[in-house]
Every structure is written in structure tokens, then in C-alpha cells.
Amino acid sequence: MTLLSMLIALIVERLAVRSPQWQLVSYLRPYLSYADKAPFSVFTQPQAGLWLWCLLPAVLVTLLLQLVDFWLFSLLVNTLVLLLCMGCWHYRQLYKKYLNAAARDDQQAAFLTMQQLETEAGISQLQLSYGQRLVWLNFKYYAAVLFWFAVLGAFGALTYAILRLLTEPATFIKAAGRDKAAEDMTQPEQQATEQVADADFAPTGSIESKAAEQYEAADTAANTAAETQSGAEQDLQQLKARAEQLSQSIALQQRLTAVASDLSHWADWLPARLFGLGFALVGHFSRASAILLSYLGDSNTPAGQVLTDIAKAAEPLPEELLNCSTESCSLVQLAKRNILFFLALVAILTLSGALS
């Protein structure tokens, strides 16, 4: 069942998944926004309560699978969970955009595309080449998700995907609308000024009539100014409320990201070395295995550095091909071969009875 869910999810994700509705982040953003809202804020103020809130979707899915013990239902739910947790259409589009820029020899567009991918994925702390960045994203969005699904089922895949998204800056970025409050505040003042100006250029009449018109224009301008001041105070209160809400969101993001980074480091430790072994077996074994052995007992080096160093050794390329489309395509093909190796390993474990 595990292998079948993996194969179906990989095929469907490659051929049919295109919209944001099939990305977990589309549902995680609104879900996390309720963490600071009443009545949930009472439970999420402690750090432990906040993490229970984050893990609640994975727990509920696990309980659902335990309650409905039917193979077809389990297959559908597991496949759906993998589709939500695995792959990212946005990053694939950026990769295609990079390849198109490289094909037309537009170095600036290629550089900006890879910078956008690096910033949104939160991998700027690692000094990686273009191809190594793509290998790391392939690991985070495919290999590690498949590993934790094989070990812990839907709970493992969903928990890892949530941890991954909490460490990415793009998860907390929301589309900002245009704020016209300042522009709206100036419109009544402009109207009052125009009314006074119209009174000054009124047709010549009696002195009393002109004075009355000017008095009426001045009175209207004063009323408008009072309304403008009242509206400005309301706008100021709204801005303060928005600023307070933004401050709470930033504080929540910092709390989530701080702990998620530590947990994600340990969640990547074992799969990074397992898939590093896969790189050695499907690539240049002697070079890659030497790098793998040097990192085998290291728990301080980031998993991204470990995996990408092994991948670079498994697919040796000349230095002049660094950060070009040839290097990127070669390392992406290496990552794909590694996924096939992992699926073959899962198939062997399934046939031997180690996996259900």
C-alpha cells in the first residue's frame, strides 16, 4: 500500500497537479492565522500548545485512518496527503523560467530567477551553486517526504511538510493590496479648497450676495475639514489595529520559525545521509562515499550542505560549468535517479514484508 500510494502520487503530481489548491501552503497559511485568534489563542500562547496546534492536522489524519480501517479509503487519503505535501508547482515554474533564460543566454534573468528561488525557499544561508539548490529543493519536496511517509505513514509526511513550510519565508508572505488611505484622506480637503476657489471666482454681484456665498463656502469648508479630521482619526485607529495585528503575526512567525528550524535539522539528518548513499550508488561512488563517510557522525553541519556536497561529488563537473544550465540539468537528473533508487528500495522492503 505504501509503494502504491507513492507511485500514484508521483505520477499524478507530475502530470496533473498545477493549481495552488494542491499545495499544502494554501491551507497552512489560513490555519496558522487562527493560532492568535480567540478562543484558540489561550491554547497557543505556550510554546507546547503552539506546536500541538501545528501538529493537529497530522494527528487528525492519523486518527481518521485508524477509525476507518478500509484499504481503499487508506489508499485515497495517503495519496491525497502525498500530493499536498510533495512537490511545488511554483518552484518548478521558476526552474523552467531559469532554463529558458539560460537557453537564450540571458544571464541576468537566470541570476534573478535563481535568487528569487533561493530567497523564497529560505536557502540563502547555504553557499550553493544553481544545481545544488535544485538538488536541495528536490530533497525537501520529494525525497524527504517519501522517506517519512515510508517510515511513519501520512503522519510523518504531513508533519515533515509542515516543518518544511514553517522554515520557508514564502509561507508567511501574503499578497498585499494597495492602501489608499492617505489618498482618501486628502480628497475632502481638496474638495473644500476647490469650493473656496470657486467662491473667489464667482460672477460679480452685490457685495452682500458675494459675502454670503463666501460665508457659505467657508462654512462648508469648515464642516468638511471637521469630517476630514474625524475620518483621519478613524483611519489612524485602523492603521494602529493593522500594525498591532502585523506585530502579532511577526511574533508568531518568529516563534514558529525558531523551533521549526531546530526540528527540521534533526528531521533531515537521517534522510539526508540515506539519500547521500543513494547519490553514491547512482553516481560516482568513490568520491561520493568518501564525502558521505566524513559527514556520517556529524550532527552540526546543516543537512543541506551535507547532501549537496555529496551530490556534487557524485556528479563531478568542470568548474567552468558551475552555475550554468548543464550543471543544473545534470544534478537534477542525478536527483531523479536517486528517487528511482529509493522507490526500488521501498519495493524490495515491501516484497520482503518489512513494509505494508
Q: Which of 20-29, 168-177, 251-260 has the weakest average pLDDT?
A: 168-177
Q: What Å distances lie between residue 331 and 90, 249, 308, CA to CA?
A: 19, 38, 10
Cell of 320: 567552468
Closest by CA position to 120, among listed 177, 85, 167, 160: 167
Prediction pTM value:
0.79
Helix residue spans in the chain (DSSP H):
2-15, 25-33, 41-44, 47-67, 71-85, 89-103, 107-121, 130-138, 144-166, 181-200, 207-282, 285-295, 303-314, 325-352
Compute the distance between CA of residue 299 and CA of residue 34 in angstroms, rounded to an integer. Answer: 35
Q: Are 308 and 331 in contact (CB under 8 A)?
A: no
Compute the distance between CA of residue 288 and CA of residue 294 in angstroms, rounded to an integer. Answer: 10
Q: Are 303 and 105 in contact (CB under 8 A)?
A: no
Q: Are 182 and 238 in contact (CB under 8 A)?
A: no
Per-residue pLDDT tens over the stretch 124-142: 767 888 999 999 999 999 9
Place of cell 511517509: 149
At 199, is the pLDDT very low, low, confident or very high (cuts 50, 70, 90)? very low
Rg of the Cα trace of the chain?
Answer: 29
Q: Are 305 and 313 in contact (CB under 8 A)?
A: no
pLDDT in the model for residue 228: 66
Compute the distance between CA of residue 244 and CA of residue 237 in angstroms, rounded to an integer. Answer: 11
Per-residue pLDDT tens over the stretch 40-49: 777 878 888 8
Q: Which of 30-44, 81-95, 238-252, 282-296 has the weakest average pLDDT?
A: 238-252
> Any idea of the CA torsion for 330, 331, 337, 342, to the nearest 10 degrees?
180
pLDDT in the model for residue 283: 93
Closest by CA position to 270, among listed 137, 354, 167, 150: 150
pLDDT in the model for residue 207: 47
Q: Which helix (H) or strand (E) is 127 found in, with range? A: none
Closest by CA position to 275, among listed 170, 345, 220: 345
At 214, is the pLDDT very low, low, confident or very high (cuts 50, 70, 90)? low
Place of cell 498545477: 18
Compute the distance between CA of residue 89 and CA of residue 154 in angstroms, rounded to an integer. Answer: 21
Per-residue pLDDT tens over the stretch 47-79: 888 888 889 999 999 999 999 989 999 999 999
Compute the distance between CA of residue 149 and CA of residue 147 in angstroms, rounded to an integer. Answer: 5
What percent of the chain stands above pLDDT 90?
40
